[in-house]
Amino acid sequence: AQSVSQHNHHVILSEAASLELGCNYSYGGTVNLFWYVQYPGQHLQLLLKYFSGDPLVKGIKGFEAEFIKSKFSFNLRKPSVQWSDTAEYFCAVSNNAGNMLTFGGGTRLMVKP
């Protein structure tokens, strides 16, 4: 069975600070990796995904994530956050059959203006 851990439950940053949210997964086979974001009052939206190829993935709104297979990690980064990045961020993994996403517990990010 696959599992996902997000170690930071709450993160508070000032605008222009750099962001890194941790994500570690547990699964022995080939995985697909995702970050979803949920802005206040909105539904879950895909931020970025990794299936194969370049382990550094660029997403929307200046976000990126790096897949490090040896560490079973897929951390999310952004060099300079904005107040509008305030949201909850979920890391998720699916196996190569792709029929079920397993989510982490989420990280709630608050960016102070």
Residues making contact with another protein (CB under 8 A): 4, 6, 32, 34, 36, 42-46, 49, 51-52, 90, 92, 94, 96-106
CB of 83 to another protein, least distance (A): 23
CB of 113 to another protein, least distance (A): 25
Q: What region does 41 belong to: left with phi over 0, alpha with psi -120 to 50, or beta?
A: left
Distances, alpha carbon 81 to alpha carbons 27, 52, 68, 100, 109, in Å: 31, 27, 23, 31, 10
Residue with smaller CB distance to another protein, 81 or 93: 93
CB of 16 to another protein, least distance (A): 28
Residue with smaller CB distance to another protein, 18 or 45: 45
CB of 33 to another protein, least distance (A): 11
3-state secondary structure (DSSP) of residue 70: helix
The helix (run of H) or strand (run of E) holding residue 11 is: strand 10-14
Q: Is the separation of the CB atoms in 95 and 104 below 8 Å?
A: no
The label of the residue with tokens 């949201």 reads 87
Residue with smaller CB distance to another protein, 9 or 61: 9
Residue with smaller CB distance to another protein, 6 or 19: 6
